[in-house]
Structure 1
Amino acid sequence: MKSQVDALLAAMTVQEKAGQVNQRLHGWTALRRTGDGFEVTDSAREEIERWGGLGALYGLFRADAWSGQHWGTGIRPEERADAAAALQEAVLAASPHRTGALLVEEAPHGHQALGGTVLPVNLNLASTWDLARVREAAHRVGSELSASGVHIALVSALDVLRDPRWGRAEECFGESAMLAAELTHAVVDGMQGPGRSRIGTDGVAVVLKHLAAQGEAVGGRNGQSAHLGPQDLHEIHLAPAEAGIDAGALGFMAAYNDIDGVPCCANPELLTGYLRTRHGFDGIVMADGLAIDRLVDMTGDLAGAARAALLAGIDLSLWDEAFTLLPRLAEEDDQVAAALDVACRRVLNLKERFGLLDVRAPAEVTPQRESLTLGSATAVTPDSSRALAARSLVLLTNEAGALPLNPSALTTLAVVGPWADDVPALLGDYVPPLPPGSAPSIGQALGAQLPEAEILISEDAIPAHLGQADAGIVVIGGTSHRPYDAEFADNGAIAGRAGQATGGEGVDLADVSLPGAQDELVRRARHHLAPGVPLIAVVVAGRPHVLTGVLESVDAVLWAGYPGPWGAEAISAVLLGEAEPTGRLPMTLPSHPSVVPVRHDDRQDATGVYLDVAEPVLFPVGHGLEYQKVEVAELRLDVGAEQVVVAVRVRNPGQRPTETVLPVFAHRRGGLRVPRRQELLAFRRIALAAGESAEVTWSIPASRFFAGTSRASSTAVTVRGLSATASPRPTVG
């Protein structure tokens, strides 16, 4: 007996099949307002009728500067159900087979829609080292998307931060493949449910991006070639992808870059051999925006580009013209016709999971026309977003206990620097506009916490009366904010005039020093403060910047990243001692702009190599200070034939509860490859009550713990300054 997908595929024309693998529209242009709701625009109706339906629609709810959608023009939270229903009704009416459309939305760190949940950026999520809370936040974002009628979330997770010059560093879960893999698994598990259990109920299908090695692009230049061998490709850049497959991810997005000259979206070894043959992946592969059309430089024309991408394993295009040529190509080429059937089947299989096949009534596939309880930009998951922001802050230095500040001793507080009173700078790239007044700046948050103090806020200059302050906060770093008058490339990346943006897609930097003479600004702030008055630097940034000069002028440095709408309140709480700084760096901070890239897991040590920069690392992966120091002792390694147990004892000697992060780093010797200087083998974030002691253990497969099995093999383990070395157990016989 034929399955529903088999029967549908047999009944479809070539034109209809091609329509299922095309995703050409900008969703925000697909609807227009009417007196009592929405109707499909003429251009969208023409596209729907052209294919006898619609495979997928990108960005129906997207709101940002590129789409031009804002609170005065875009689809509001309470309107999402009606908008989705209007679109689906038009698609079903044009489809001879009553097949609905997959609605696809950007969700790199929350939903990029008016009223959508906004989380801290991925670099901040990584600095929490908190799998449970990341999983919970992903679940809630997935539930929001599902309630809006969305089926697919495009989620940044696979890019590993290997070069801080890359503008999209903020989208990475740090530079460790292991940390990125664990967080990728947590996100997929949260949005789709364990074993895909939430698909069709309160979850969405995750398309993980970008596959693969985009973080390795030469010079940190977005979308350019990645030069690396198969070992590093698999160990570093495919580790998050394998975690995504293991978690059941239903989609991957092929990246813009090439690997050793082969474009990812035309790479059969990657998209078919690796994903499907080697790992049994059964979902869809989507191309990045206009990536297929860009193959013309390789193939010579759009027809060749379409053929190359389809035969490599691309199932769904994004805005490309090339895939519109598939009906003609399929008629002329049996190989293309067979590949089109395969791609169409994969899209239909995904639609079947969401009940989008053979729909008799529009109500079967549209969300209930009840207002989503969003209310404001962060109302769906305030607890999740707030908790992640608080746990992501990393205390880099704290000379003479300058932090926390004593609120009762502050009568005048100076908050200066370019981002002192800026809310969008806290949010990162790929975010919707927040409702006015829905989130405070750092200066405003400190003012709210210190109602009796005078708060001197200045973004552009050092106030003349800075010398009267009891303490100074200088907010430095960068921003990925996309202003509505910015110029954009054809794929939505910032292009040309970027406004103040110093990060985000399309904003790669040759120099990762603090932009805009901020080192000098910090020095001037130090000069204007009275002697003995503490100066604290708060670093708002989406990439590793060089902070060497800053350290010379300040008493403490708090790395804040892009912590999201609740970030200012979290920063204020840490500065004033109401909360502990418990984050740990997920990336290396360089000491000089010319030493990059430098990573914890490089195979060779860069220390002492440069005559002019003896120590290229300012702060390593895993670095972070605490107000209330957790004691770690008694590192033990128990080596078994199949696994190695790593154990430490921890104690909170303080008077209040706290949390701490315990990374397990290793240097593995043995085998036939130069060992990495350091690898992350495991980690744990734990909570400890006041005075509590506990034993923390990890069971690590021996095959992962040791690089080889010979007597010459050994692994040196480090946990928070404690070290131990072990060798594999000899095999019997």
Structure 2
Amino acid sequence: MPEQPDVDARVERALDRLDFTQRVGQLNQRLLGWRAVERWKDGFRLSDEGRREVDRWGGLGALYGLFRADAWSGRTWQNGIRPEERAEVAALVQDEVRRASGIGVLLSEEAPHGHQALGGSIMPVPLAAAASFDRDLVRESSAAVAAQLRASGVHLALVSTLDLLRDPRWGRSEECFGEDPYLASVMTRAVVEGMQGTDRAEVGRTGVAVVLKHLAAQGEAMGGRNGQSSLIGERDLAELHLPMVEAGVRAGALGFMAAYNDIDGVPCCANRDLLHDLLRSRWGFDGIVMADGLAVDRLEALTGSIRESGRLALLSGVDLSLWDEGFATLDQLSDDPVVRAAVDVACRRVLTLKARFGLLSEEEEPEPVVDLRESITLGDDLSQRVAAASLVLLERGSLPWTGDALRNIVVAGPYADDHTALLGDYVAPLEVPAPGIASALQRALPDASVRVAVDADAAIDLADGADALVLVLGGTSHRAYGDDFAANGALQSVAAATSGEGVDLSDLDLPPAQRALIRRVSESVTVPVAAVVVSGRPHVLTPLVDAGMAIVWAGFPGPHGGAAVADVLLGKSSPTGRLPFTAPRSSGVVPLHHNDRHDAASVYRDQMEPVLFPFGSGRGFLDPDVNSLTVTPEDEGVRVTVDVHSPHDSATTAVHPVFIRRWGGTVLPRRQELVGVLRAVLAPGEHLALDLTLPADAVRAVDAKRPWLRVIVAAHEADLRLPLLEEVETSTS
């Protein structure tokens, strides 16, 4: 609902009606939502656990995961809350909570790539969405997910946009928008504007409030070890990990989640410089800061007690807890004037957010203005579009294949027809399984024989006389209902999952059985072979390159990923995705990034060329030609113009990342920096001039008195000398 001018007065009236315990209760989000309700007769009722929590606090601040369904929650299509039941359950919870204090509860849900609830649209994971290099598409898909959340009575969407893929050993790499801060910042803004509307216009209507996670530098954790120390200087923190945070603030994000990790020894949940001085005082953030799950209690290693952990997090700038006990002890500190004042400040922030949704005492929450079923239909359509845009063709090989010539296809590998491997982490089970890659090929070629080989021997035997062989390799984030989980939901058991939260790896090579399959196929099979790498992190793909196979990278592309892959293999679509990370040639060379300050080539004596595929790699079947690059100084900065031409008989899409390198200052420059993306659809034979303007602060080196600039697009470079941003000398190639 639109922000109203008397919101401060309404918040103060609500605050005045709450005693200290109730105010502390507004800051707590301890209860696992799926345990708050239970089926009763022909409907639902508040569970005993839910009742105890409401009675303890005389209300509730927020409730996490009311609709969550997955292996950790144990909720399935048999015992979970179905889409048509969501409105009833949300209304029940609101009525019960309002009875205690008159104030409703904020319902928060996981939505990193779709609502993690039964029947919700599942989008490709953020790493796959980043490969599209298409912010407009990400904005549209985010809006569709937000509409589903709002139609269900949800207020807060927890969305991963702030992490960078700085070490591919990290299991949560799939939650990142790649390794580059510019790309991640653009996508962060797209997510916020999609879910909240421009200038927060859709919050409470067709949109929800976004809680961006994780703040900050979690992707920098040493060795890719989840939640551990990020050893990083202030400059790299500012240049790499904070641009997404600032982009979120500027876009109007209403929430941030403080991460597990520490930065140079200071845990994020105890980092007042980060949560208050930077976020609020410097950037003007006016929303809430939520702690990650149980992160407040982890401060006990610093403070020595749970109670002191809660106090430290509160005074550092955390407003809302998540599952922890630390904030539940704040009501024991009523005689501490500093704590009382901080509780009031945080409570006002929570109540102000509730006012946006009509949850305060004198208000009634407005009915959602979107239909859940319609929003799910729209979301599924957008999931298909993102899946198609996310596929990256790394090696063309014999692709595309002509469907008319394919009568016998063999699909081999551990994920040959495994639909769960396409989905990624943080997803609910599907009511009807989506087609895996083998099934999608069979649907695309109903008259052909598509056979699945269970091992290398079967693949070689079946390939004899076949027309083509597809290897489906990589990994999976699938959590089985029999797996063991940590207290925060991360995978704890040794299970089938090879990616996702709780699955950090020391070795990025494809598993031994997959490497053996590649070797035996390359030695024994003479038919065309294409490898599809289904993955949520960079793997070492060197064996595939050495075998000369076509390679399609598919970053957990969602339930429509099988169909999207089939379309690429059969030439029904030309891939436009670009690699959002640097692919290593071997495990021992990581971490490795395109924007490092030093070149890693010729350093390791046993791996002189560590990069297998550079950041931004990718090609299509119908790529337009780049004829020239021109760089022109302007008052606002520098204009980059690229002339492109399509020599093809059908429409084609140009996708060209724009890189720069800056010299002349007092800081060692990065080897290159992504500063923009040029994209357009060209008609057959069409010439287009694609351009963008780079602002002056994006092209001048820090403290530069005689700056130089190099612009790189495709295989073209242009250098500028900018003494005083005047009398600029230009060279192009």
In 2, distance between residues paired with 1:622 and 1:551? 17
* Aligned counterpart, 1:483: 480
- The structure 2 residue matched to 1:659, chosen from 643, 650, 653, is 653
**SS of aligned partner of 1:332:** coil
Residues 110/672 of structure 1: CA separation in 2 closer, same or farther (3 Å cut) = same
Which residues of 2 match residues 680-695 of structure 1 at below 5 A? 680-695=674-689
AA partner of residue 481 (structure 2): Y
- The structure 1 residue matched to 2:361, chosen from 358, 361, 382, is 358
Which residues of 2 match residues 632-651 of structure 1 at below 5 A? 632-651=626-645
CA displacement at 1:303 relative to structure 2:
1.2
Residue pair 2:70, 2:429 contacting (<8 A) in 1 also: yes
* Aligned counterpart, 2:470: 473
Residue pair 1:584, 1:622 contacting (<8 A) in 2 also: yes
Residues 611/9 of structure 1: CA separation in 2 closer, same or farther (3 Å cut) = same
- The structure 2 residue matched to 1:179, chosen from 183, 187, 197, is 183
* Aligned counterpart, 2:429: 433
CA displacement at 1:467 relative to structure 2:
1.4
* Aligned counterpart, 2:310: 306
* Aligned counterpart, 2:337: 334
AA partner of residue 372 (structure 2): L
In 1, distance between residues paired with 2:269 and 2:538? 29
Gaps of 5+ in 1: none
In 2, distance between residues paired with 1:732 and 1:584? 35
1:389 equivalenced with 2:387 (yes/no):
yes
- Residue by residue over 1:488-507, the C-alpha shift from the partner in whole angstroms, topping out at 9 and shown as x without a partner, is 0000000022x210000000
Which residues of 2 match residues 474-623 of structure 1 at below 5 A? 474-497=471-494, 499-529=495-525, 531=526, 533-623=527-617
In 2, distance between residues paired with 1:354 and 1:246? 21
* Aligned counterpart, 2:85: 79
Residues 391/553 of structure 1: CA separation in 2 closer, same or farther (3 Å cut) = same
CA displacement at 1:367 relative to structure 2:
5.2
Which residues of 2 match residues 196-207 of structure 1 at below 5 A? 196-207=200-211
Residue pair 1:84, 1:366 contacting (<8 A) in 2 also: no
Which residues of 2 match residues 127-276 of structure 1 at below 5 A? 127-276=131-280
CA displacement at 1:708 relative to structure 2:
4.4
- The structure 1 residue matched to 2:713, chosen from 701, 715, 719, is 719
- The structure 1 residue matched to 2:441, chosen from 443, 446, 452, is 446
- Residue by residue over 1:626-675, the C-alpha shift from the partner in whole angstroms, topping out at 9 and shown as x without a partner, is 11121112211111243110011111111111212111111111211111
Residue pair 2:707, 2:723 contacting (<8 A) in 1 also: no
- Residue by residue over 1:404-449, the C-alpha shift from the partner in whole angstroms, topping out at 9 and shown as x without a partner, is 0111111111110000010000000001101133x10000000111
AA partner of residue 584 (structure 2): P
* Aligned counterpart, 2:731: none
In 1, distance between residues paired with 2:394 and 2:726? 48
CA displacement at 1:711 relative to structure 2:
5.4
1:411 equivalenced with 2:407 (yes/no):
yes
CA displacement at 1:731 relative to structure 2:
6.0
CA displacement at 1:11 relative to structure 2:
2.7
Residue pair 1:502, 1:515 contacting (<8 A) in 2 also: no
**SS of aligned partner of 2:674:** strand
CA displacement at 1:12 relative to structure 2:
1.5
TM-score normalised over the length of structure 2 = 0.96
In 1, distance between residues paired with 2:90 and 2:25? 19
**SS of aligned partner of 1:537:** strand
1:39 equivalenced with 2:35 (yes/no):
no
343-352 or 625-634, which deviates more: 625-634
In 1, distance between residues paired with 2:347 and 2:666? 44
1:30 equivalenced with 2:36 (yes/no):
yes
In 2, distance between residues paired with 1:510 and 1:535? 29
**SS of aligned partner of 2:464:** helix
**SS of aligned partner of 1:115:** coil
**SS of aligned partner of 2:626:** strand
AA partner of residue 357 (structure 2): F
**SS of aligned partner of 1:468:** coil
In 1, distance between residues paired with 2:588 and 2:476? 22
CA displacement at 1:475 relative to structure 2:
0.5
- The structure 2 residue matched to 1:455, chosen from 446, 450, 454, is 450
CA displacement at 1:709 relative to structure 2:
6.5
**SS of aligned partner of 1:492:** coil
CA displacement at 1:319 relative to structure 2:
0.3
Gaps of 5+ in 2: 1-5, 728-733
Residue pair 2:127, 2:176 contacting (<8 A) in 1 also: yes
Which residues of 2 match residues 108-119 of structure 1 at below 5 A? 108-119=112-123
In 2, distance between residues paired with 1:493 and 1:304? 26
Moved over 4 A (4+): 365-368, 708-711
**SS of aligned partner of 1:21:** coil
Q: How many residues align?
A: 719
AA partner of residue 607 (structure 1): A
Residues 480/365 of structure 1: CA separation in 2 closer, same or farther (3 Å cut) = same
In 1, distance between residues paired with 2:91 and 2:368? 7
CA displacement at 1:358 relative to structure 2:
1.3
**SS of aligned partner of 2:45:** strand
In 1, distance between residues paired with 2:226 and 2:158? 19
Aligned-residue CA RMSD (Å): 1.6
In 2, distance between residues paired with 1:307 and 1:678? 43
**SS of aligned partner of 2:72:** coil
- The structure 1 residue matched to 2:693, chosen from 690, 699, 718, is 699
CA displacement at 1:516 relative to structure 2:
4.1
Percent identity at matched positions? 53
**SS of aligned partner of 1:513:** coil
Residue pair 1:419, 1:459 contacting (<8 A) in 2 also: no
CA displacement at 1:481 relative to structure 2:
0.4
Residue pair 1:671, 1:708 contacting (<8 A) in 2 also: yes
In 2, distance between residues paired with 1:465 and 1:699? 55
**SS of aligned partner of 1:219:** helix
Residue pair 1:667, 1:676 contacting (<8 A) in 2 also: yes
**SS of aligned partner of 2:676:** strand
In 1, distance between residues paired with 2:636 and 2:664? 17
- The structure 2 residue matched to 1:6, chosen from 5, 12, 27, is 12
- Residue by residue over 1:105-155, the C-alpha shift from the partner in whole angstroms, topping out at 9 and shown as x without a partner, is 000001000001100000110000001111011111111100100000000
AA partner of residue 69 (structure 2): A
CA displacement at 1:374 relative to structure 2:
6.3
Residue pair 2:205, 2:368 contacting (<8 A) in 1 also: no
Residue pair 1:473, 1:535 contacting (<8 A) in 2 also: yes
AA partner of residue 447 (structure 1): Q
